[in-house]
Amino acid sequence: MVNRITPSGSGAPYAGGCHCGSLRFAATLGPVDAGWCHCETCRRTTGAPALVWGSFPVGAFAYVKGEPAIYRSSSRGQREFCAVCGAQVAYRELGAAIVDVNVGCLDRPEGIEPRCHLWTASRIAWFETADALPRFAGAAPERPRA
């Protein structure tokens, strides 16, 4: 299930969308977490060696234009993407209190800085970032639930 807010919400501090503009979202509160994901699923669903995400409270995040297509990528969660251009916008674990937004889809991605690296056990050997952020072989400590 996804939230909907009126188009006036597009002036929210954290707004973004897909490549073609058919799908737009807004978040009225800032992210509660942000980081790099190196898991195979994120790599395969984005085509990138790693993905930077920002976690927003579910109640503060909504689509303001279009409806996302849903792909159930695992028994735990779903990917939300544009059915027109194919851009993956978000990931939700079922029952979670947060939605992970792909930072590259934000209008101002520089406003969110990663705080950690997740699933580094799956990292592509030639891909390494030059930072001192905490690294977790798997998932980070417990994430908020609804």
pLDDT tens-digit map of 19-33: 999 999 999 999 999
Residue 9: pLDDT over 60 = no
Is CATH 3.40.50.1820 the classification given to domain 12-122?
A: no
pLDDT tens-digit map of 85-143: 999 999 999 888 999 999 999 999 998 999 999 999 999 999 999 999 999 999 876 65
- In this prediction, residue 13 has a pLDDT band, given cuts at 50, 70 and 90, of confident
DSSP string, 85-108: T--EEEEEETTBSEEEEEGGGBSS
pLDDT value, residue 31? 94
Residue 146: pLDDT over 80 = no
Q: Whole-model pTM?
A: 0.84
CA 103 to each of CA 6, 36, 51: distance values in angstroms, whole numbers, following the listed order: 22, 10, 8
pLDDT value, residue 1? 46
Burial of 135 (0-12, 13-18, 19+ CB in 10 A): middle
As a whole number, the mean pLDDT across the chain is 89
User: Which sequence spans correspond to the domains of the chain?
Assistant: 12-122
pLDDT value, residue 11? 54
Measured CA to CA, the distance from residue 66 to residue 20 in angstroms comes to 11
